[in-house]
Amino acid sequence: MAYRVLIVDDSPAMRTFVRRVIDLSGFELSECFEASNGQEALEILNHEWVDAILTDINMPGMDGQEFLRRLSQDELLRSIPAIVISTDATSHRMASMASLGARGYVTKPFLPEALRAELERTLGVPCD
Amino acid sequence: MIDTVIRQALRDSVNEVLEKMFFVQTLGEFSDLEVAGHPPEDEMAARLDFQGEPAGSLRLRLTSVAAKQIAADFLGIDAADVSDLQVSEVIRELANMTCGSVLSRVESSTAFNLSAPQIVPPSEEDTGSLWNTRYAVELSNGRLTVNITTESPTCSQPAESAY
């Protein structure tokens, strides 16, 4: 099965890298959408359904924390698993993002396998 | 003064970030004396500040040829096709990831907040801080130097996962 994924990051280079790493990992993408902050992501989600969201925290405009808050307040969108990708691996930050509704957390730097494993875990993909 | 906790975290972080995210192996380390003895060549630099305990800043300098190749490796394209804007974006991301990785390894009792990385003149020096830790590595086509200055020394605690 192939999945539709939304990548939210203010760095175009990072969005390119994440998409590349997903491809390298062997995770099957049918469609990949990109947004540079939470507001842009919500606009995309108004007319496109995705299976998973990968989001940064620190972004100009609507940041990752507010984006997760908005997702959790929406009856439909709250069912989409959101995974945070961040350089911040402190327990404070991880707990804070989990409390806002993040279902997964990948710390930069990461290997392609780690991103794939987190995507599969949050999507409930059975192990091979 | 050199913070030994930061020094070890910096060494581990630089190597891990380069290997995992940029697919780059370092060829060796430069001593502080060697780095101090080399005037800045054709380099570019990025800097970001962080708030927390301790607060401070990270400054990263990279020779231009190495910067272009690292950007190409990160984006998965040929170095000849990388624009200056893309190089800047990738070097800012390298600084961001390195700083986040270092601070996550020396987690204190408070959360850290990082500023957005900025491209700065390579000749810019951090002055006035008592704690200044530097780590420089040789790459196949240049040199990467990372400086972290903090207002006070660190105290490390183990982190727990919330997931």
At A73-115, the pLDDT tens digits run: 999 999 999 999 998 888 888 999 999 999 999 999 999 999 9
Q: Residue B8 maps to which CATH number?
A: 3.40.1550.10
ipTM associated with this complex: 0.85
Compute the average pLDDT of residues A6-18: 96
Kindly report whether the peptide bond that precedes residue A109 is cis, defined as omega within 30 degrees of 0: yes
Smallest CA–CA distance from A122 into chain B, residue? B163
Look at residue B155 and tell me if it is in a domain.
no
Tell me what pLDDT residue B158 has: 43
Look at residue B157 and tell me if it is in a domain.
no
Flag whether residue A47 sits within 8 Å of chain B, measured between CB atoms: no
Smallest CA–CA distance from A99 into chain B, residue? B162
Q: What share of chain A is helix, strand, coil (3-state, %, to 5)?
A: 45, 20, 35
CA nearest A13: which of B68, B71, B101? B71
Q: Give the mutation candidate from B77, B101, B104 for the A interface (greatest A CB count, under 10 A).
A: B104
Q: What's the whole-model pTM score? A: 0.87
Smallest CA–CA distance from A92 into chain B, residue? B111
* Residues on chain B touching A19 (C-beta within 8 angstroms): none
Look at residue B85 and tell me if it is in a domain.
yes
Q: What is the pLDDT of residues A39-60, one digit of tens each?
A: 999 999 999 999 999 999 999 9
Give the DSSP per-residue string, chain B.
Answer: ---HHHHHHHHHHHHHHHHHHH-----EEE-HHHHHHSPP-SEEEEEEEEESSS-EEEEEEEEHHHHHHHHHHHHTS-GGG--HHHHHHHHHHHHHHHHHHHHHHT--SS--EEPPPEEE-TT----S-SEEEEEEEEETTEEEEEEEEESS-----------
Number of domains, chain B? 1
Flag whether residue B74 sits within 8 Å of chain A, measured between CB atoms: yes
Amino acid at B36: A
Residue B136, domain extent = 4-150
CA angle, residues A26, A43, A60, in degrees to nearest 5: 85
| CA distance linking residue B106 with residue B158, whole number of Å | 8
Record: contact A16-B76, CB cut-off 8 A: yes
CA distance B130 to chain A (A): 25
Look at residue B37 and tell me if it is in a domain.
yes
Tell me what pLDDT residue B104 has: 87
Smallest CA–CA distance from B95 into chain A, residue? A87
Give the DSSP per-residue string, B50-96.
Answer: EESSS-EEEEEEEEHHHHHHHHHHHHTS-GGG--HHHHHHHHHHHHH
Domains annotated on chain A, with CATH: 3-123 (3.40.50.2300)
Element containing residue A28 per DSSP (H, E): none
The DSSP letter of residue A74 is S
Look at residue B158 and tell me if it is in a domain.
no
pLDDT band at B29 (very low <50, low <70, confident <90, very high): confident
| CA distance linking residue A107 with residue A105, whole number of Å | 7
CA distance A20 to chain B (A): 8
Length of chain A: 128
> Which A residues 20-39 touch B at CB under 8 Å?
20
